[in-house]
Structure 1
Amino acid sequence: MKASAAMRTALQRQWQEGGWLSWLLFPFSLLAAAAVAAKRLAYRAGWRRAERVGVPVVVVGNLYVGGTGKTPFIVAAAHALRERGHRPGIVSRGYGAAIGPVPRVGCGTLDPAVFGDEPALIARQAGVPVAVHPRRAEAARTLLHQHPDVDVILSDDGLQHLALARDVEIVVQDERGIGNGLLLPAGPLREPASRLRGVDAVVTNRSGGRDGTLPTPPAGVRAVDMDLVIDSVWRLADGERRPLPALPAARRIAAVAGIGNPARFFATLRRAGIRLDATVGLPDHYDYAHSPFAAIEADLILVTDKDAVKCPAPDDPRVWAVSVSAHLSDPTFFDWLETRLHGRTPA
């Protein structure tokens, strides 16, 4: 595990700063760029058609591969739209679950092995129906068939999934920005940075710190900062929930995160005043088939809510999950989003 973590750290450094490995992989990035351009051309020329599903669709995605904070933003967006009288539903690929040919639809407490960890977390926190399938248009149709009251769909990821027509595109980025600016595998980007000129809004997740250099948002693209604020902590063994100041006293505290950017979770904890004696960064969507907790010498272990939906730790009273919520720098952002959904010119 230590060797793989070191390899991930080295690759992330190359993706941020460049280096010999990045340049060695650069020809493959040119191939990726050509494939991306050909795909977009096919839709622009009408050779392939995006499917409309009958209700407005908001795609929340990213350019930087891995996690940037989309999940808490989607949960916040779902709550905000419900407060404004809408009935949102969520579609997602269901990464990590073997979905099969038929989309799966569920609400409330979902099995992450069946739906994927992020859809399971979104369903629990947002309280809206969720459909999962690699073909998101098919997921959306099935969702609307089973929940005909849904009047707006939020697509978890899917910025590059052009088969689903969308009315609003929102990119969530973090302090890493566009990294070295190169496409996979020489860099971290799924699409060229110029793609930002075509989206409607860019949300910058600042919870990992504000030291990164980020490109200026293109003219006409709405920009807003997002912070992830710790709401509470809860113990996996029995579900007991406490406010952060009431976290049990501990001599040694460790943090474990199987998300796209574990360092961001650790930074969020430190900003909240928690002293971390050890940190363990795991691969994104880590399935916890092998529990890392037994090997950790700590009196208290903190994990993300995303990890908690699949952690096999009910018998370890040391493990507590940290619940966060998204706070935006612009309090009118979701009013703007609703305006876009109604097809009016935004303020």
Structure 2
Amino acid sequence: MRSYHLDPGRGLAGLTLRDHDVPEPGRGQIVVRMRAHAVGARDLLVLAGTYPLPVRPGVVPGCEGAGEVVAVGADVTRVRLGDRVAATVFPRWWDGSFRWEYATQLGTGTDGTLTEYALLDADGVVPVPEHLSYAEAAALPLSAVTAWHALTAGGMPRPGETVLTLGSGAVSLSVLQLARSAGARVIVTTSDGAKAERLRELGAAEVVNYRECPDWPDAVRELTAGRGADRVVDPAGPLSMSLRAVAVAGEVALVGTSLSGPAGAHPVDPSALFAAAAVVRPVIAGHRAHFTALNRALTTHRLRPVVDRTFGFDAVPDALRYCRSGAGVGKVVVTHPGPPR
């Protein structure tokens, strides 16, 4: 078998492909023959050495992937041989509030998914929805689970509410799909005219081009009769702008980091927090129960994540370069030869 390994801080130059023996599962572990992986901005941060969690030198990168269980260790009851499963980003975070002891993350502190055979904790996987391919399932563990967490932490959006999501990245696309399935009206921001058209095709009620309209919170208020958005999912920042766009008693979910730095890195005047009179909720990916609930929603509404482009396993560096270009709309997926299911 082959797996990628990284030397953090060296970018793509620190990514190498090595040969290994196929692992044997220990107690509570499984071996998954990986069929597909997703890569994105998070992986670029890890390679650059700017990710907020510690990265072990030589670690197998990647936190998103799906495949088939081919070996099961002792005391494993959650999965069986032949099951189609997807990895969870935080294999020890099963439910409840995030705690430091759950911080071990695939592809940083422990070996991740960019390998042909992954040794995983049996408690750190979930079943793949029947209607999804491996490539589609690989697109879920980070961005889609984060979107679900961001939308549901304060209660699922209700029909008639307005959800604003910033940018056309994978989290925002998942927010768009999930919020629409709940009956919400979704507004999306972007800086690209072609991407704006694609966002409308995917169901955005309104698209605001923030390059053409730098004062985009005012545009959002105009689109909501002065009220503002009930929910704002902010993967890009600055937070001060989201606070201007949110409705009184609304909610801003602050999601992760962008390639240019933390989404909330710009100083926020405390008076802006009081003026917004809204909840600001930092969101860290999601736990296994989030993933399970997301899969139920995807199955109920027959939703499929948006996959922009696929690459072969030997072309992971090319896939990451494509991510860095920012050219696509949707997840960038790496696949292995074999059956698409």
TM-score (norm 2): 0.31
TM-score (norm 1): 0.30
Give 1 or 2: higher strand fraction.
2
